[in-house]
Amino acid sequence: DAKTTQPNSMESNEEEPVHLPCNHSTISGTDYIHWYRQLPSQGPEYVIHGLTSNVNNRMASLAIAEDRKSSTLILHRATLRDAAVYYCILQKTGANNLFFGTGTRLTVIP
Amino acid sequence: DTGVSQNPRHKITKRGQNVTFRCDPISEHNRLYWYRQTLGQGPEFLTYFQNEAQLEKSRLLSDRFSAERPKGSFSTLEIQRTEQGDSAMYLCASSLGASRSLEQYFGPGTRLTVT
Per-residue pLDDT at A5 exceeds 90: yes
Does the distance separating the beta carbons of A43 and B107 come in below 8 Å?
Answer: yes
Give A101's contacts in chain B (Cβ within 8 Å): 42
Does the distance separating the beta carbons of B4 and A87 come in below 8 Å?
Answer: no
Mean pLDDT of B83-95: 96
Can you give the pLDDT at residue B51?
Answer: 92
Does the distance separating the beta carbons of B42 and A100 come in below 8 Å?
Answer: yes
Dihedral Cα A73, A75, A79, A80, nearest 10 deg: 0
pLDDT digit string (tens) for B12-66?
999 999 999 999 999 989 999 999 999 989 999 999 999 999 998 998 888 999 9
Can you give the pLDDT at residue A95?
Answer: 75
Instruction: Indicate the residue of B56, B102, B106 with minimum beta-carbon distance to A44.
Output: B106
For chains A and B, CB pairs below 8 A equal 51
Residue from A69, A76, A67, A79 nearest A19 by CA: A76
pLDDT band at B72 (very low <50, low <70, confident <90, very high): confident
Nearest CA in chain A to B92: A43
Nearest CA in chain A to B106: A43
Can you give the pLDDT at residue A1?
Answer: 56
Can you give the pLDDT at residue A96?
Answer: 77
Can you give the pLDDT at residue A93?
Answer: 72
Residue from A85, A59, A57, A54 nearest A72 by CA: A54
Can you give the pLDDT at residue B42?
Answer: 93
Mean pLDDT of A21-44: 92
Give B93's contacts in chain A (Cβ within 8 Å): 43-44
A106 three-state secondary structure: strand
Chain mean pLDDT for chain A: 92
Q: How many CB atoms lie within 10 A of CB A41?
A: 10
Q: Measure in Å the smallest separation between the Cα of B88 and chain A Cα atoms.
A: 13
Instruction: Indicate the residue of B43, B55, B102 with minimum beta-carbon distance to A44.
Output: B43
State percent of chain A over pLDDT 70: 98
pLDDT digit string (tens) for A68-83?
999 999 999 999 999 9
The residues of A whose Cβ lies within 8 A of any Cβ of B are 32, 34, 41-46, 49, 85, 87, 91, 94, 96-103
Mean pLDDT of A50-61: 93
Does the distance separating the beta carbons of A101 and B42 come in below 8 Å?
Answer: yes
Residue from B5, B8, B14, B9 nearest B86 by CA: B14
The residue ranges of DSSP E strands in chain B, in sequence order, are 5-7, 10-13, 19-24, 31-37, 44-50, 53-57, 65-68, 75-79, 88-95, 105-106, 110-114
Does the distance separating the beta carbons of A96 and B106 come in below 8 Å?
Answer: no
Interface test with A, best of B102, B103, B105, B110 (most A CBs within 10 A): B102
pLDDT digit string (tens) for B91-107?
999 998 765 557 899 99
